[in-house]
Amino acid sequence: MTAVGIDGIEIRTGKLQLDLAETFAPAQDEDPGKYTEGLGLHASSFPDVYEDIVTMGANAAHRLMERKGLTPADIGRIDVATESAFDNSKPVSTYIAGCLEQVYDDNFHHANKGERKFACISGTQSLDDAYNWIRAGRNRGRKALVIATDTALYARDDPGEATQGAGAVAMLVDEDPGLVELSTEQGFGSADETDFLKPNQQFPSVDGKRSMKVYLARMREALEDFESAAGDTHPNDYELVPFHTPFPGMVRKAAALGYRHVVRDTDVEISIAEEIGRQPRREEYKSQEQYFDAVKEYTDALTETERYQAWYADAIEPTLEIAREVGNWYTGSVHVARVAGLKQALEHDRAMAEKKLLVASYGSGAQAEIHAETVVSGWKEEIAALNIDEQLDRRHDISFEEYERIHDVHNHDTENDADAEELITPTQEFVFDGWGRMGERKYRYVR
Ligand code: CAA
């Protein structure tokens, strides 16, 4: 069977940054440690006044196409995953295609375009759609463009405000991929949940604490389902485990639960039993409550062991490096985690070709999905071609007053962004260019 997977990837961050410890924490009268240690975040990325989900997606896709020497005729499918769309009918992929057509001679008139919605997991679902389209032999030799793009903003003074972010990830899905091959096995954990939703509003209604519990519950189900398809997992099977990362502190919790689950009845459990005992088994406890208390105690002890900490440092920590600097990108978040892990592997000269990743996606509402990926031999060139470090260094560090203004600009109120003053002069990129007569957003390429 021909390998199908991600051939190339590009990341585009919003061009502004809000320093959480230095700027946001004092304004909120909070201890900076809540952000840097508790949530694990240093900064949030924000779009300048002319940036939005379309410009960030189009700019990421443009760089990817240029790097790969592609023109629109090479693309048979454009799927955009977002939870920040501004139109309930016309998909964001048409806007992005329209942008790209400004800079290419040919067009995307024969590409199937769509928009995927299931909170943050829709980026991974769009990858699935592209994979299935190619596997079904319907691509006629063409490639799929998958773009995950979001402005993850929360209402002012909502606890989620600490975890904001904005950016896009563009992925090229193809046969004989240059970065990772996707596995056929997948596991799902899915249930009707009311933890985080946006009922026709730009800023979400969130039950933050509940959303964290739901994330963990669905992730556990997805892992069990994945194991039922792919067989038991062992930590040594996977070099990196990129998770959906609303903030690194969430991944810290999910990783501990996942590790505890996969090491049960393995050599790892036996090897640390002398130090912290065996994992509690349900049948050993009179009540569910006693069992849960024992599990919590065991998990806390587990995360203190050298064995766990070494695994975490190798498999998880590298995947969080970009998220710490940019915050939550919703649909793009798990794909940023994959890139961050591979980028650090490149910087540390880790041998990754033929190694496996276990990728754990999540979307509120709620669904988790887990699948494996195999890194392929071209991975180093792909990762070395990224310019995310330069983008991060170039960001404008906004003051709290600028943050208040920028937050207003992006609240989807047409009055607000008409005359807003930019903070960085745009160059060689797609920008928002005002509103059209039917309420559409217009874009142009700045040379
Ligand atoms: N030093 C060190 N740590 C500190 C600290 C300090 N001075 N002050 C607080 N902390 C720690 C807290 O102990 C806590 O860590 P633990 O959970 O490990 O105990 C952490 O910092 C956060 O502090 P709080 O719990 O007090 O923070 P909060 O209640 O204000 O908000 C939140 C946290 C509920 C996650 C909020 O940011 C939120 O609502 N976020 C949006 C929802 C979200 O991201 N949910 C995640 C799962 S859902 C999902 O993943 C989908 C998605 O993308 C949205």
The secondary structure of 354-384, three-state, reads CCEEEEEEEECCCEEEEEEEEECCCHHHHHH
Among the atoms of ligand 1, which is closest to the Cα of residue 161?
37
What pLDDT is recorded for position 1? 84
For residue 7, the surrounding DSSP H or E stretch is strand 4-13
What pLDDT is recorded for position 422? 96
Residue 39 Cα to ligand 1 midpoint, Å, equals 6
Residue 36 Cα to ligand 1 midpoint, Å, equals 11
The protein residue whose alpha carbon is closest to atom 1 in ligand 1 is 33
To test the ligand 1 pocket, which listed residue (39, 118, 331) has its Cβ within 8 A of the most ligand atoms? 39
User: Would the CA dihedral through 413, 418, 420, 423 be positive or negative?
Assistant: positive
Residue 250 Cα to ligand 1 midpoint, Å, equals 8
Dist CA 242 CA 372 (whole Å)? 10
Q: Which of 12, 37, 36 is nearest to 23 (CA)?
A: 36
> Which positions of the chain have pLDDT values less than 70?
414-418
The protein residue whose alpha carbon is closest to atom 22 in ligand 1 is 38
Residue 116 Cα to ligand 1 midpoint, Å, equals 28
Residue 209 Cα to ligand 1 midpoint, Å, equals 8
The protein residue whose alpha carbon is closest to atom 31 in ligand 1 is 159
Q: Tell whether domain 4-446 is in CATH 1.10.600.10.
A: no
Q: For ligand 1, say whether the CB of 32 is within 6 Å of any of its atoms.
A: no
Q: What is the DSSP string of 265-282?
A: TSHHHHHHHHHH-PPP-G
Q: For ligand 1, say whether the CB of 213 is within 6 Å of any of its atoms.
A: no
What pLDDT is recorded for position 414? 66
Catalytic residues: 83, 120, 244
Q: For ligand 1, say whether the CB of 209 is within 6 Å of any of its atoms.
A: yes
Strands 43-46 and 16-19, how do they pair? antiparallel
The protein residue whose alpha carbon is closest to atom 43 in ligand 1 is 208
Tokens of 89: 């009918």
Kindly give, in sequence order, each residue whose CB lies less than 8 Å from that of residue 231, ignoring residues fewer than 6 positions away: none
Q: Which of 145, 193, 156 is nearest to 10 (CA)?
A: 145
Residue 246 Cα to ligand 1 midpoint, Å, equals 10
Kindly give, in sequence order, each residue whose CB lies less than 8 Å from that of residue 189, ignoring residues fewer than 6 positions away: 217, 218, 219, 220, 221, 222, 223, 224, 225, 367, 368, 369
Q: For ligand 1, say whether the CB of 34 is within 6 Å of any of its atoms.
A: yes
Contact (CB, 8 A) for 253 and 327: no
Residue 214 Cα to ligand 1 midpoint, Å, equals 14
What pLDDT is recorded for position 115? 98
Strand partners, 75: 143
To test the ligand 1 pocket, which listed residue (30, 194, 211) has its Cβ within 8 A of the most ligand atoms? 211
The protein residue whose alpha carbon is closest to atom 15 in ligand 1 is 38
Instruction: Quote the distance between the C-alpha of residue 312 and its chain's center.
Output: 19
Residue 206 Cα to ligand 1 midpoint, Å, equals 12
Strand partners, 17: 45, 397
Q: For ligand 1, say whether the CB of 98 is within 6 Å of any of its atoms.
A: no
To test the ligand 1 pocket, which listed residue (28, 30, 34) has its Cβ within 8 A of the most ligand atoms? 34
Kindly give, in sequence order, each residue whose CB lies less than 8 Å from that of residue 287, ignoring residues fewer than 6 positions away: none
Kindly give, in sequence order, each residue whose CB lies less than 8 Å from that of residue 26, ignoring residues fewer than 6 positions away: 32
Q: For ligand 1, say whether the CB of 231 is within 6 Å of any of its atoms.
A: no
428: left (phi over 0), alpha (psi -120 to 50) or beta: left
The protein residue whose alpha carbon is closest to atom 44 in ligand 1 is 246
What pLDDT is recorded for position 415? 66
The protein residue whose alpha carbon is closest to atom 4 in ligand 1 is 34
What pLDDT is recorded for position 176? 97
Sequence spans of domains, the chain = 4-446
CA max distance for the chain: 72
Dist CA 59 CA 446 (whole Å)? 11
What pLDDT is recorded for position 417? 58
Q: What is the DSSP string of 261-328?
A: HHHTTSHHHHHHHHHH-PPP-GGG-SSHHHHHHHHHHHHHHHHHSHHHHHHHHHHTGGGGTTHHHH--
